[in-house]
Structure 1
Amino acid sequence: MALTGQIAVVTGASRGIGRGIALQLGEAGATVYITGRKPEDSLNSKVGLTGLEQTAEEITKRGGKGIARFVDHQNMDEVKNFFEIIEKDHNGQLDILVNNAYQGVQAIAESIGKPFYETDPEIWDTINNVGLRNHYFCTVYASRLMAARNKGLIVNVSSGGGLRYLFNVAYGVGKQALDRLSVDTSVELAKKNVCVVSLWPGAVKTELCTKKFTDEDGNPNPGAEKMQNMFANGETVEYPGRAVVALASDPKRMNKTGRILITEDLGREYGFVDIDGQTPPNLRSVSFILGHLGWTTTAKFIPSWVRLPGWLIVAGNSHL
Structure 2
Amino acid sequence: MNTERTIMALPLSGKVCLVTGATRGIGRGIALQLGEAGATVYITGRTLKPKSDGKAGTSGSLTTTAEEIEARGGKCIPVQCDHADDEQVKQLFEQISKEQNGRLDVLVNNAYAAVSLLTEQYGKKFWEVSPNTWDTVNNVGLRCHYIASWYAAKMMVPAKQGLMINVSSPGGLNYLFNVAYGVGKAACDRMAADCAFELKKSNVAFISLWPGAVKTEIFEETILSDKADNFPDGFLDVFQFGESVEYPGKAVACLAQDKNIMKKSGRVLLTAELGEEYGFTDIDGSNPLNFRQIKSLLKMSGHPWLAAMTPGFLKIPFWLWSISASKF
- Class of the TM-score when normalised by the shorter of the 2 chains: over 0.9
| Offset of residue 196 of structure 1 | 0.5
| Distance of 2:160 and 2:230 partners within structure 1 | 51
| Distance of 2:55 and 2:172 partners within structure 1 | 38
Aligned to 1:227: 235
Aligned to 1:14: 23
| Offset of residue 288 of structure 1 | 3.8
CA gap 1:96/1:110 in 2 versus in 1, 3 angstroms: same
Aligned to 2:207: 197
Aligned to 1:265: 273
| Distance of 1:128 and 1:121 partners within structure 2 | 12
Moved more, 304-313 or 89-98: 304-313
CA gap 1:290/1:171 in 2 versus in 1, 3 angstroms: farther
| Distance of 1:114 and 1:133 partners within structure 2 | 24
Three-state SS of the structure 2 residue aligned to 1:42 is coil
Report 1:1-320 matches (<5 A).
1-38=10-47, 42-46=51-55, 51-214=61-224, 226-289=234-297, 296=303, 300=307, 302-320=310-328
- Contact 1:196–1:258 (8 Å) recurs in 2: yes
Aligned to 2:7: none
- Contact 2:49–2:62 (8 Å) recurs in 1: no
CA gap 1:212/1:27 in 2 versus in 1, 3 angstroms: same
Matched-pair identity in %: 50
Gaps of 5+ in 1: none
- Contact 1:285–1:304 (8 Å) recurs in 2: yes
Gaps of 5+ in 2: 1-9
- Write the letter of the residue equivalent to 1:109: T
- Contact 1:286–1:299 (8 Å) recurs in 2: no
How many residues in Structure 1 have an aligned counterpart in Structure 2?
316
| Offset of residue 20 of structure 1 | 0.5
- Contact 1:35–1:52 (8 Å) recurs in 2: yes
CA gap 1:26/1:57 in 2 versus in 1, 3 angstroms: same
| Distance of 1:40 and 1:2 partners within structure 2 | 30
| Offset of residue 299 of structure 1 | 6.2
- Contact 2:33–2:249 (8 Å) recurs in 1: yes
- Write the letter of the residue equivalent to 2:210: W
| Distance of 1:241 and 1:143 partners within structure 2 | 22
| Offset of residue 57 of structure 1 | 1.4
Three-state SS of the structure 1 residue aligned to 2:123 is coil
TM-score (norm 2): 0.90
| Distance of 1:19 and 1:250 partners within structure 2 | 22
- Contact 2:213–2:243 (8 Å) recurs in 1: yes
| Offset of residue 310 of structure 1 | 1.2
- Contact 1:264–1:282 (8 Å) recurs in 2: yes
Any idea what the Cα deviations from partners look like across 1:180-207, whole Å, max 9, x if unmatched?
Answer: 1100000111111111000001111111
CA gap 1:273/1:40 in 2 versus in 1, 3 angstroms: closer
Three-state SS of the structure 2 residue aligned to 1:226 is coil
| Distance of 1:144 and 1:175 partners within structure 2 | 24
CA gap 1:290/1:165 in 2 versus in 1, 3 angstroms: farther
CA gap 1:302/1:214 in 2 versus in 1, 3 angstroms: farther
| Distance of 1:120 and 1:181 partners within structure 2 | 26
Three-state SS of the structure 2 residue aligned to 1:34 is strand
CA gap 1:190/1:47 in 2 versus in 1, 3 angstroms: closer
| Offset of residue 78 of structure 1 | 0.4
Any idea what the Cα deviations from partners look like across 1:266-299, whole Å, max 9, x if unmatched?
Answer: 111111111111111212122444566x565796
Aligned to 2:4: none
| Offset of residue 140 of structure 1 | 0.3
CA gap 1:275/1:45 in 2 versus in 1, 3 angstroms: same
Moved more, 226-235 or 236-245: 226-235
| Offset of residue 45 of structure 1 | 2.3
- Contact 2:23–2:47 (8 Å) recurs in 1: no
- Contact 2:45–2:61 (8 Å) recurs in 1: no
- Contact 2:122–2:230 (8 Å) recurs in 1: no
Report the RMSD for the aligned CA atoms in angstroms.
2.4
- Write the letter of the residue equivalent to 1:256: K
- Contact 1:281–1:304 (8 Å) recurs in 2: no
- Contact 1:214–1:228 (8 Å) recurs in 2: no
| Offset of residue 89 of structure 1 | 1.0
